[in-house]
Amino acid sequence: MASALDPPPTGQTIGRVPIAGLVRQARRIAGLGQRQMARFAKVAPSTVGRVEAGGMTPSLQVLERLLGAAGLYLVVVDQEGRVIQPMEDWDDTRDGAGRRYPSHLKLILDPEPGELWADIYGLARPPETFHRCPIDREARRRRSQWEVRVAKYRGVPPPEDPRRWTY
């Protein structure tokens, strides 16, 4: 594990990990020579050598093939090391114009009365929606965290609901 006292990596990196060292380590794990790795990855042997020497930055596709030749995979992890799964793309959850809903907002399927932002205007209820107001989203998130961790917050009143604030 790298520490704050380690010198910054030289050459091209993925985060703080040098690509050249990653490919060399993958080759060592698999016990492959450069020619063998190149053959399994379907690249020229000189490509493996140039990547390992730091003279070439491989495309994501080539890096994936080089690591795949060693039986390794590229994944995305969060700060705690948990693998992040891609979002599902549901064709039946699009807005009226056929667009996807915003990825950064949590989709609400079959909203209950009061969950839809348009309820206060008496507008038609769609089969799905999301919370548009960032203050409302944050209040719901805090309330949900409080409800889930009731043992931790025993004796602590629930968070204040900003929808009851007057401006």
What letter does residue 91 receive in the DSSP assignment?
Answer: T
Cα separation, 31 vs 111, whole angstroms:
55
Q: Return the DSSP state at 11.
A: S
- Give me the pLDDT at residue 87, please: 75
Q: Of the CATH numbers 3.40.50.1820, 3.40.50.2000, 3.90.960.10, 1.10.260.40, which one belongs to the domain with range 19-69?
A: 1.10.260.40
Of 111 and 76, more confident: 76
User: What is the pLDDT at residue 77?
Assistant: 86
Q: How far apart are CA 10 and CA 114, in angstroms?
A: 55
In terms of average pLDDT, the best of 54-68, 124-138, 141-155 is: 54-68
Q: CA 123, CA 93: separation in Å to the nearest integer?
A: 19
Q: What is the DSSP letter of 27?
A: H
**Residues above pLDDT 70, as percent of the chain:** 68
Q: Where are the domains of the chain?
A: 19-69, 117-164
Number of Cβ within 10 Å of residue 35's Cβ equals 12
How is residue 8 annotated by DSSP?
P
This prediction has a pTM of 0.55
Question: In angstroms, rounded to a whole number, what is the distance separating the alpha carbons of residues 133 and 154?
Answer: 29
Environment class of residue 129 by beta-carbon count within 10 Å: exposed (0-12), middle (13-18) or buried (19+)?
buried
